[in-house]
Amino acid sequence: MYQAAKERYEKMNYVKCGNSGLKLPQVSLGLWHNFGDTSSFENMKQLCYTAFDNGITHFDLANNYGPEPGSAEINFGRILKEDFLPYRDEMVISTKAGYEMWDGPYGDWGSRKYLLASLDQSLKRMGLEYVDIFYHHRMDPDTPLEETMGALAQAVHSGKALYAGISNYDGETLKKAAAILEDLKCPFIINQNRYSIFDRTIEQNGLKDTAHKLQKGIIAFSPLEQGMLTDRYLKGIPADSRVKTDGRFLKAEALTEKRMEQIRRLNDLAGQRGQTLAEMALSWILKDGIVTSVLAGASKPSQILDNIKALENTSFSDEELKLIDEISIG
């Protein structure tokens, strides 16, 4: 039977999520990859053990994570039942709904019917009575925002979620959603968005600035840009890399010569800072205190330990920030 390391809370920094009372670890574990039925269950367990033993209390899922859709929640639920039930109250578990999950008009987007049905399914797959955070996964242009936010509020008021979140929203829609949820007296605390040195979308669409002004947390996914912001591809494409094993999200053609030159230059700068490129990329996201946590996936336990090292140095000089901008966005 798994027993968590006694010193686990000495290894992590915890930050308040916006103006809520919930604190999140600055590094969280995402189960987007490597928790589906095509992955090793033993490795999944080791990833969760390593994360929790080092103070990572937040585990992030979605209804469609797999493959097959739903399998990540099933596998995580099995790990919870077998090893983590004594620690449930020490964990923050989140899930989402918003992308296609089942056939027909009620298994996608943002209707009340879809969101609440999906949450019930997610709880059943994981064997939980509630999740800590339930997100709407993407903006829906065809469903009234009031309906979607009302479904999140219902999830919280029913006790099936403790907090509400939204994912892949822009700044203007975030502002409208926050106002609706405030009127519904629903504790909306967090935005989940893609953010990295190579992807500045939340700066460009106003999400980062708006979340900061509204005192809502941000958790950044794909902080390493599917592995491009590591030294993994500097000597070619490894056989066990995501490009080779799962070409859905990172394709070989994305590694252009221009991109590789950017990666090499960023890697050189990271070395000058005494960091790996991955460590610097995560540190960069946390540099200004606006992003609450980085949501990093892992295929090996050692990668989780490497990610945590990023917290040792999140300060950048003006010259370093300027150089990173010049390299990555011109």
Q: How confident is the model at residue 2 (pLDDT cuts 50, 70, 90)?
A: very high
pLDDT for residue 47 is more than 80: yes
Cα separation, 279 vs 270, in Å, equals 8
Q: Which CATH architecture has domain 8-226+288-311?
A: Alpha-Beta Barrel (3.20)
User: Comparing C-alpha atoms, which of 85, 17, 14, 87 is closest to residue 52?
Assistant: 87
Tell me what the mean pLDDT of segment 231-249 comes to: 63
Average pLDDT score over the chain: 95
Residue type, 142: D
In angstroms, rounded to a whole number, what is the distance separating the alpha carbons of residues 196 and 188?
A: 24
- What is the pLDDT at residue 233? 87
* Per-residue pLDDT tens over the stretch 76-134: 999 999 999 999 999 999 999 999 999 999 999 999 999 999 999 999 999 999 999 99
Q: At what angle do helices 277-285 and 301-308 cross, to 10 degrees?
A: 60
**171, 213 in Cβ contact below 8 A?**
no
User: What letter does residue 178 receive in the DSSP assignment?
Assistant: H
Q: What is the pLDDT of residues 125-157, one digit of tens each?
A: 999 999 999 999 999 999 999 999 999 999 999
Element (H or E) spanning 131, and its range?
A: strand 131-136
pLDDT-derived band at 237 (thresholds 50, 70, 90) equals low
When pLDDT is cut at 50, 70 and 90, the band that residue 244 belongs to is very low
Domain residue ranges in the chain:
8-226+288-311
pLDDT on residue 99: 98
- Please choose, from the candidates 129, 125, 119, the residue with its C-alpha nearest in 3D space to the C-alpha of residue 36: 125
The owner of tokens 């596998």 is 75
Q: Looking at this protein, which amino acid is placed at residue 58?
A: H
pTM for the model: 0.94
Nearest alpha-carbon partner for 220 in 200, 193, 197: 193
| CA–CA dist 39, 273 (Å, integer) | 35
Q: Provide the b/e sequence for 128-152 (b: ≥16 CB within 10 Å).
A: bebbbbbbbbbbbeebebeebbbbb
Q: With 90 as the cut, is the pLDDT of residue 245 above it? A: no
Bigger pLDDT: 175 vs 244: 175
Q: What is the DSSP string of 73-110?
A: HHHHHHHIIIIIGGGGGG-EEEEEE-S--SSSTTSSTT
